[in-house]
Amino acid sequence: MEKKYLSIKEVLEKKEGEVSLRGWVHRFRDQKTTIFITLRDVTGVIQLVCDQDKVSPELFEKIKQTTIESSIVVSGTVRKEERSPQGYEIDIKDYEIAGLAETYPISKDFSEEFLLDVRHLWLRSRKMQAILKIRSTVFRAIHDYFRSQDYYEYQSPVLQSVQCEGGSSLFKVDYFEKKGVFLAQTWQLYAEPAIFSLERIYTISPSFRAEKSKTTRHLAEYWHAEMEGAWVSFEELQEHAEGLIKKVISDVLKHHRDDLETLKRDVKVLETAISKPFVKMTYTEALEILKKEHDMHVEWGKDLRTVEEDLLSKMYDTFIIITRYPKEVKAFYMKEDPQDPRVVLGFDCIGPEGYGEIIGASEREDDIKKIVERLEKDGEDVSQYDFYLDTRKYGSVPHSGFGMGVERIISYIIKADTIKDAIAFPRTMVRYRP
């Protein structure tokens, strides 16, 4: 009969008896006659103990050969031990080294750049393990939210021939000796045609921005949760943004209390943020608040910078939805406000604690003449957008959509110092390996 191996979580729930388990050596202490090993698997850590006088000399010598990050298979007896961090430990009875590790290059007090150089190994750390587990749940929560709202998952091409968010941030691609092919900045221009078939769609896919930015908020490659919906009003769009964020954070709180504790994240801050309606204000009201509360004068018509967003975000303990930005600072596809053509029916959702824009959203312009005017004003070749303009010629409807930066919301949840912590292998303007 094949031996049954338990996870560390299952061992801690069992609390007593004989067990077999597998994992990696997280800590190793040799105190001559007693060896202490902290074993790690995806479910947690537990202390293993081996007393020299309780095992054969051959087994004790084998255990002494263990190195940090060696993979091991162990059997033993679980017993209560209040001095152990988990309250239980395992007396080793049988022990095999599945993979003996060379001297591990990571110890304490290494720089961020070094840890990025050895990211393939740093993923094993308790910190990165907790982040990646949370990240997995964030992806699942996004899928669950949209499916609960009867949205269909839809995929658009990553190789595209048009720009949507600004030509300066496009990644050009060598494409069979053809020019004018780029990595996707967003799915949007290829998503809107699909709403006339599926009506309500969403995706989670990679997007690429060649912004020459070294801030803690930008990645060259990031994951984008986007939605597009026929007949979705501006008000309903805001409801979806709030609903999605609350679903994501709620699921993380439900499944990852221990991981948040590992990351030293104050869960009360997260609970408070989703316990109340999001704060809503117009762009004009935001400028008035900045002037009144912070004596900061921002000229009407200028986009909000990081410094202004941060000041606003730190005034509230929940998310802020800032609506009706000036048309000139937003993309060509955003719909003019019929009540004030200077602004668009769009919004940015700003995260608390200075985490910046989490979601960018808008109702889409359905007046083909206005779209063409904006494209021409931006210096674009309108003929390249013929397929997009066709959607306005054949039974167009009011529709809206948004994009959420997945690493942005994860950064807020885990209170990351840099967005590079929110993804396994970050890509920036200076880093593309490992």
Would you say residue 168 has pLDDT above 70? Answer: no
| Residue 348 confidence class, pLDDT cut points 50, 70, 90 | very high
DSSP codes, 346-409: EEEEEETTTTEEEEEEEEBP--HHHHHHHHHHTT--GGGGHHHHHHHHSS---EEEEEEEHHHH
Residue 212 in this model has a pLDDT that exceeds 90: no
The amino acid at 137: T
Q: pLDDT tens across 31-79, in order?
A: 999 999 999 999 999 999 999 999 999 999 999 999 999 999 999 999 9
What confidence category does residue 1 fall into, taking pLDDT thresholds of 50, 70 and 90? low
409-428 average pLDDT score:
98
Question: Quick one: pLDDT at residue 23?
Answer: 98
pLDDT above 70 as % of the chain: 99
Note the pLDDT of residue 429: 92
Average pLDDT, the chain: 96
Count of Cβ atoms closer than 10 Å to residue 231 Cβ:
12
pLDDT score, position 211 = 84
pLDDT score at 167: 60
Task: Report the DSSP beta bridge partners of residue 221.
Answer: 208
CA dihedral 19, 22, 27, 30 (to 10 degrees): 60
Contact between 192 and 415 (Cβ < 8 Å): no
Per-residue pLDDT tens for 64-76? Answer: 999 999 999 999 9
Type of residue numbered 172? K
Does the pLDDT of residue 196 top 80, yes or no? Answer: yes
What is the per-residue pLDDT across 12-22, written as a single tens digit (0 to 9) for each? 999 999 999 99
Beta carbons of 403 and 219 less than 8 angstroms apart: no
Residue 151 has what pLDDT?
99
Give which of 14, 9, 44 is closest to 26, Cα–Cα: 44
Average pLDDT over residues 179-204: 97
Quick one: pLDDT at residue 2? 75
- The number of C-alpha atoms within 13 Å of 365 and in the hemisphere containing its C-beta is 24
**Contact present, 331 and 303 (Cβ < 8 Å):** no
DSSP one-letter string for 266-317:
-HHHHHHHTSSPPEEEEHHHHHHHHHHHH-----TTSPP-HHHHHHHHTT-S
Instruction: Give the separation between CA 107 and CA 105, rounded to whole angstroms.
Output: 7
- C-alpha 352/C-alpha 140 separation (Å) is 23
Q: Tens digit of pLDDT for each residue in 147-163?
A: 999 999 999 999 999 88
Per-residue pLDDT at 214? 81
Report the candidate in 413, 433, 98 with the shortest Cα–Cα distance to residue 265: 413
| Mean pLDDT of all residues in 165-180 | 85
The predicted pLDDT at position 109 comes to 73
Tell me: the pLDDT tens digits for 259-311?
Answer: 999 999 999 999 999 999 999 999 999 999 999 999 999 999 999 999 999 99
Domains by residue range for the chain, with CATH: 8-99 (2.40.50.140), 116-422 (3.30.930.10)
In a 10 Å sphere around its CB, with 0-12 CB exposed, 13-18 middle and 19+ buried, how is residue 400 labelled? Answer: buried
pLDDT, one tens digit per residue, over 361-398 is 999 999 999 999 999 999 999 999 999 999 999 999 99
User: So what's the pLDDT on residue 156?
Assistant: 97
- Write down the pLDDT at residue 352: 97
**Other C-beta atoms within 10 Å of 6: how many?**
17
Average of pLDDT values for 138-148?
99
